[in-house]
Amino acid sequence: MKRIIPVFLALVLLFSATQSVLAHHRNRVLGASTQASELNFPSISSGPGLILPDSPFYFVDKLKQQVRLLLAFSPEDKAKLRADIAGERLAELKAELLKNNQKGINIALSELASETQKAATALTDAEQKGKDVSLLSQQINEKIKTERDILKGLEKQADGELKLRIELTQATVKKAKVEVEDSLPQNIMENEIRDSINSELEDKIKDAQDVSQGIKNSLEELSKEASDAAQKSLTRREEALKKAIEEKNAELVKEQKDLLEQEAIKQATLIGITLKAARGALQAAEELEKISNAFYESEKDVEEIRAIPVPKPTPAQTLLNSNQVKL
């Protein structure tokens, strides 16, 4: 499958450049989880099964699912059924989130990822057997896009363990979507790839901007703490010097003067370094903003060029060209 190489490379380079900083940023994921019932879950067309994942009788629902799959003889029927079951799992996830049932949420997320991937695999199997899956691939692709949009919205709202589990589900669903895209008609596949790359690039730029701003805020706080610590240390040195003068101890006076000078130089150096780092972080955020703006502008130019209609030859011009060929 052909990809849009220049934009993809830009995405990889930007991701690599910010990976180490993002790793620190993502450490917050392991903190306290958001209350699941507080998440905003949009309306969906699918409904949950009769038995929810947190029920001890959930295996009955899974058994019914296996019977339905046994009755689906063709790989394309299995692909469609798997996609429908994934829709049920998405509805079950919504129900478990409202109940704030962590066990049920985990099962629903796991089942959603599994069924989506199996739907993509069955679709690929059908295509490899020579079946026309152009329409079915579009239907499944739209369902997976809905899943990704919902998971993306939940991920932005969540924190802690819940956020991590949603991210892991997103990774599997994304892999399934890439597989489904291979079965799409050429023009639709190209548009899907382009939209996916644009969305991921936008997310990475936004993450990098957030991290850069976070670094700047942290360094400013560090600078303030260093300044406060320096003032406190200098005050203690001044008090010691005053005490030494009062005791008229020349040797102690000289020692405290030296320590005072060293401390002042050290603290001035530390403050200078932290301020320089803060300015660098701010500049990085500004550069990322420029990259983002340039990317959007180039996309706008491409759309404008594509919108220019190509003039068709007039009947007279067609006749003239035909006569020239005969001559």
For the chain, which residues make up each domain, given as ranges?
Answer: 29-184, 213-304
With cut-offs at 50, 70 and 90, classify the pLDDT of residue 8.
Answer: very low
User: Biggest alpha carbon distance in the chain?
Assistant: 118
Q: 46 phi and psi, to 5 degrees?
A: -75, 155
pLDDT-derived band of residue 61, with 50, 70 and 90 as boundaries?
Answer: confident
Global pTM exceeds 0.85: no
Mean pLDDT score of the chain: 75
Q: Give tens-digit pLDDT for 216-247.
A: 666 666 666 656 666 666 677 667 666 666 66
Residue 45 backbone dihedrals phi, psi, to 5 degrees: -80, -30
- Token pair 């983002």 is at which residue? 292
Of 50, 115, 53, residue with least CA distance to 84: 115
Q: Where do the H-state alpha helices sit in the chain?
A: 5-25, 58-70, 75-99, 102-128, 134-157, 160-181, 186-246, 250-307, 315-326
Tell me if residue 313 falls in helix, strand or coil: coil
